[in-house]
Structure formats: structure tokens, C-alpha cells
Structure 1
């Protein structure tokens, strides 16, 4: 699910706080329909959850382990060996 660059970016943003679809689309540089499709797949996979806030659905990463893994992936891609180090208890 995180092999798609857009989904990885979306999970990275959502790991830092709740977002509605429009705000998330703006932050990741995607269209609202495309972001909505990606969110549906992430939600089905159990990587994000949503709740209704008025007329909007608000999304957030559902599992702190997923947020940690995404942080490690981003750090690795940025070449930061300290942040990319394995987390204790999660293997490797």
C-alpha cells in the first residue's frame, strides 16, 4: 500500500495530524478525487481511519507503528542514518 509515492506522502502528512480530504490534497499536491481514492484504499487496508466532523471526513493514521515505519522510510530516503535506524522491538 505504501509503494505508491502519493500514498506514502499522504500517510506521512496524516501521521502529523488529522486532515480533511481537501487540506490533504493541497498538502500533497494531488486532486481531491485522486486523494479520496487513495484514502479509500488506505482505510480498507487499516492504515488510516476517519471520523465525521460536520460535513467533512477527517483522516488520521490509525496505528503509531505505521507512523514510525513511514518516518523511517522518509528518513532513509532523505539519507538520515540516525532516524532510519530500526525501532527496538520491531525487528531488524
Structure 2
């Protein structure tokens, strides 16, 4: 395992909390879909709302959280905001999670959902 930490050191409680908060942020399927789309290119809020299938206000709320966490970046052109993922760590995380759930490179069929508990 190649982790960016010195050998034989454990993450601190603060680092663990920050990592858990990032995973929690990505635990919403619409939010994860937004991040995946923004990793593929630059989109405005209306296009993202249409692609994800949720309202523009909901997408705006999700994007605000993702931007404040540094997961997506935003740039303004006139009255429009455009969102993208520029952080290579986020891109790697997305690649790794989808490789984990679909090692053959396909995203179908969907993995079975296990009941909680």
C-alpha cells in the first residue's frame, strides 16, 4: 500500500476526522455524481442539474459544500458559474472507487446493495 505518510506512522485524530468528513461529503449519490461529472469536464449549474436529475437550487447547495471543501473549483463568466475538479487527489480517489466497484472497467451491472445493520 502506497500511502503519503511516513512509514510506521498512523494518521492523527484530526487527519482521520478530515478524511471521514470528505468521505461523508461524497456519500450522497447526487453529490458523487456531480463530482464525477466535474472530473470529466467543466459544467454550469443548469447542465449539472439536468445531468444529475435534481433541481438547480439543490445542485447549487451541493456545489457550495463541495467548493468549500476544496473538492470542486468554480469560475465565474458573467452571470454563470462553471465547476470542475482540478485536484489530482480527487481525480485519483474517483478512479480508485470506481475501479474498486467495477474492476473490469464497466459500471454495470450495479453492485448489490447490502442491508444496513
**Structure 1 or 2: more strand by fraction:** 1
Report the TM-score when normalising by structure 1.
Answer: 0.80
Question: How many equivalent residue pairs?
Answer: 82
Runs of 4+ in 1 over 4 A off after TM superposition: none
Indicate the RMSD between aligned Cα atoms, in angstroms: 1.7
CA separation in 2, counterparts of 1:34 and 1:74? 24
Change over 3 Å in CA distance of 1:57–1:73 after alignment to 2: same
Question: What are the ranges of 5 or more consecutive residues in structure 2 without an aligned counterpart?
Answer: 1-24, 107-117
Partner of 1:55: 79
Report the TM-score when normalising by structure 2.
Answer: 0.64
Does the residue aligned with 2:64 lie in a helix, a strand or coil?
Answer: helix
Question: What are the ranges of 5 or more consecutive residues in structure 1 without an aligned counterpart?
Answer: 84-92
Higher-RCO chain (CA-CA 8 Å, sequence separation at least 6): 1
